[in-house]
Amino acid sequence: MTALKRSNKVPEVIVYYLVGTISFMSAFVLVCVFNSCTAECPHLATDAAISNAADAPTPPDITIAIDNDGDGVFPPEDCNDHDPNVYPGAYEYCDFQDNDCDGETDETWKSLWGGLYGTPCSVTDTNGCVSVGRWGCDMDHDWLACNASPVVAHVEKCNGADDDCDGVTDNGQGWPMIGTVCTIMAGTCTVPGLWACSSYTEMPYCTAEDIPFPETTCLEN
């Protein structure tokens, strides 16, 4: 321990420099402040040593790469460092993502069956309802399947759809006229049409209402 002695000298600030090597050659400054004291500080660094420390190059920044998913490949080469099945050269699963980091998704599967991937498909369920979807990846991510969602059979409505999945559209008991001829009067003209169901009102209407008529002829008195 450095011994301090009382003195009647004017208070002063004495700055000493101590050069040490810790980690990346960091230069440390030892500041000794005394008030009316004298001190013995042996082994002080020389001016030359202080100058050399000041001229030392700044250590470079170090970036530590971390392999988060443990697949042995570091980003940015690993395009998804949170999935161990994704890295350059990995097997391309049918899972709607780029497993091998080549910038393409499911490319191996898009050429199967004449390019069936992504095209429309339909499935008839056990209740007779037809589900519509597209060809894509199956749940196991190793083959193609039609991703149509099952359709639940409902009570038949007059809406242009086969609600009860019996293969017939708008065949409810309350609309026996559906598909038969109907007419409407437009001025002095009779316009023919067919009875049909409206998907908007879910009620029968005559399609003649949709047909424009010649006003100059049908509106004459």
State the pLDDT at residue 145: 93
Whether 181 is covered by a domain: the verdict is yes
Do 17 and 42 sit in the same domain of this protein? yes
Whether 123 is covered by a domain: the verdict is yes
**Tens digits of per-residue pLDDT, 118-149?**
999 999 887 788 899 999 999 888 899 999 98
Residue 112 has φ and ψ, to the nearest 5°, of -70, 150
Q: Cα separation of 196 and 38, whole Å? A: 112
Q: Where are the beta strands (DSSP E) in the chain?
A: 4-6, 12-18, 28-34, 37-39, 120-124, 130-137, 144-146, 181-186, 189-197, 204-206
Below-50 pLDDT ranges, the chain: 1-39, 221
Do 161 and 140 sit in the same domain of this protein? no
Answer yes or no: are the C-beta atoms of 180 and 195 closer than 8 Å.
yes
State the pLDDT at residue 102: 94
Do 213 and 158 sit in the same domain of this protein? yes
pLDDT mean across residues, the chain: 77
Do 94 and 121 sit in the same domain of this protein? no
State the pLDDT at residue 167: 85
Do 104 and 142 sit in the same domain of this protein? no
Overall domain count for the chain: 4
Any long-range contacts for 70-73 (C-beta under 8 Å, 24+ apart)? Answer: none
Range of the domain at 33: 4-54
Do 104 and 123 sit in the same domain of this protein? no
Nearest to 86 by CA among 107, 110, 77: 77
State the pLDDT at residue 16: 38
State the pLDDT at residue 12: 40
Nearest to 84 by CA among 99, 66, 106: 99
Whether 140 is covered by a domain: the verdict is yes
pTM for the whole thing? 0.46
**Token pair 């005394």 is at which residue?**
34
Whether 61 is covered by a domain: the verdict is no
**Tens digits of per-residue pLDDT, 54-83?**
676 777 777 777 889 898 999 989 999 999
Do 162 and 181 sit in the same domain of this protein? yes
